[in-house]
């Protein structure tokens, strides 16, 4: 066990060097993390989860140093309607499928929340409000991580095959991929404009956690539960202001933007290490099929909307 811990730390340090040197892409980082966990295990599961949360927030804030305020506002406005429609339709479909497939109500709502808004963040926000059991939270996040991994690998090739512009691809990622890490990871290799749109629309979409939490409290008739506001979004907006009004030298903003992208790649490696096929198998495949159906719906709907509009 001790040997595995040392080997894991060595492999993570190697990944950090390769990421810094520019030899690792988003899919490679995710796959590398998954292979590390598969071959030597993950002796630091709790530390990995915490590191993902903090590093992702830092990376997202740093990406704000590469975005202008004018572009951010325009992108948020352009993406509002599709964001609203995708959330409402996914929630309605998820609630219908919970009954149809006989999924545990709380687990089904967690998966629906994660699919409709922002993956693990939405699940973590809603779980205490509906008083979800630990096993259902762990399973929901595991399934979301698995689908994120698949999306990160297949979305860029599909985007190129369909000849999507950077604007179209960035918007598609922001709507159809669950977690912010995988949204930004998929857009990262597609182009800077795709990255800008994906990050901005995704974070605007994250704000829907607040009305979702209120709806969850009403649906499950819970009272007195605190609703969490995603504070790191304020940091992202603040970084955009700094970049737009040149409150830092352009070279400093560029450096912070560059470091944010590297930080994101290493975070994707940790996300890969968090995927556990064994945990998914032990709880059966019905929840996976439920989440997969929802994900396919939101992916196809958003793609058709983007292509038509």
pLDDT value for 224: 62
pLDDT digits (tens, 9 = 90+) for 146-159: 898 899 999 999 99
Closest CA to 42 of 8, 11, 91: 8
Residue 283's pLDDT band (cuts 50, 70, 90): low
Distances (CA, A) of 160 to 163, 165, 187, 194, 240: 5, 9, 12, 12, 29
Integer Cα distance of 195 and 12 in angstroms: 25
CB crowding 27-49: b at 16 or more within 10 Å, else e: bbbbbbbbebbeebebbbeeebe
- Is the pLDDT at 42 greater than 80? The verdict is yes
Residue 137's pLDDT band (cuts 50, 70, 90): confident
Integer Cα distance of 199 and 260 in angstroms: 12
- Is the pLDDT at 1 greater than 60? The verdict is no
Residue 168's pLDDT band (cuts 50, 70, 90): very high
Range picked from 121-135, 214-228, 236-250, 266-280 for highest mean pLDDT: 236-250
Return the residue matching tokens 């669950």: 178
Terminal alpha carbon distance of the chain: 55
Residue 219: both structure tokens together: 């649906």
Q: Comparing 259 with 179, which gets the higher pLDDT? A: 259
The residue extents of the domains of the chain are 2-308
Q: Please give the helix or strand (H or E) that residue 122 lies within, else none.
A: helix 119-130
pLDDT value for 223: 66
pLDDT value for 197: 94
Q: Which residues contact 100 (CB under 8 A, 6 or more apart)?
A: none
With a pLDDT cut of 70, the percent of the chain lying above it is 95
pLDDT value for 9: 87
* pTM (two decimals): 0.86
* Cα atoms found within 13 Å of the Cα of residue 152, Cβ hemisphere only: 27
- Is the pLDDT at 305 greater than 60? The verdict is yes
Q: Is 18 exposed, middle or buried (0-12, 13-18, 19+ CB in 10 A)?
A: middle
DSSP string, 194-206: HHHHHHHHHHHHH
pLDDT value for 187: 93
Residue 280's pLDDT band (cuts 50, 70, 90): low
For all residues of the chain together, what is the average pLDDT?
88
pLDDT value for 88: 95
Residue 244: both structure tokens together: 């737009």
pLDDT digits (tens, 9 = 90+) for 177-189: 988 888 999 998 8
pLDDT value for 128: 85
């Amino acid at each position: 066990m001790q040997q595995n811990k040392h080997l894991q730390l060595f492999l993570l340090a190697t990944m950090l060097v390769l990421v810094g040197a520019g030899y690792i892409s988003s899919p490679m980082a995710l796959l590398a993390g998954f292979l590390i966990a598969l071959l030597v295990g993950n002796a630091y599961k709790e530390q990995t989860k915490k590191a993902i949360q903090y590093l992702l927030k830092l990376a997202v804030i740093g990406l704000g140093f590469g975005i202008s305020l004018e572009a951010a506002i325009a992108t948020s406005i352009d993406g509002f309607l599709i964001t609203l429609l995708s959330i409402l339709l996914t929630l309605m479909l998820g609630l219908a499928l919970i009954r149809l497939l006989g999924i545990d109500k709380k687990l089904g709502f967690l998966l629906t929340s994660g699919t409709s808004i922002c993956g693990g963040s939405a699940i973590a926000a809603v779980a205490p409000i509906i008083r979800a059991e630990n096993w259902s939270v762990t399973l929901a996040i595991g399934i979301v991580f698995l689908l994120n991994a698949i999306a990160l690998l297949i979305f860029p090739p599909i985007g190129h095959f369909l000849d999507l512009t950077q604007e179209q691809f960035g918007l598609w990622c922001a709507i159809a991929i669950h977690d912010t890490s995988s949204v930004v990871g998929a857009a990262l290799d597609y182009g800077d404009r795709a990255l800008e749109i994906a990050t901005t629309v995704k974070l605007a979409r994250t704000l829907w956690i607040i009305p979702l939490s209120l709806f969850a409290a009403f649906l499950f008739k819970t009272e007195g539960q605190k609703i969490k506001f995603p504070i790191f979004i304020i940091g992202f907006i603040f970084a955009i202001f700094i970049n737009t009004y040149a409150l830092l030298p352009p070279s400093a903003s560029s450096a912070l933007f560059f470091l944010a992208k590297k930080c994101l790649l290493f975070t994707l490696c940790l996300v890969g290490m968090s995927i556990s096929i064994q945990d998914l198998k032990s709880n059966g495949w019905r929840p996976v099929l439920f989440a997969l159906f929802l994900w396919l719906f939101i992916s196809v709907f958003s793609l058709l909307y983007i292509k038509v509009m």
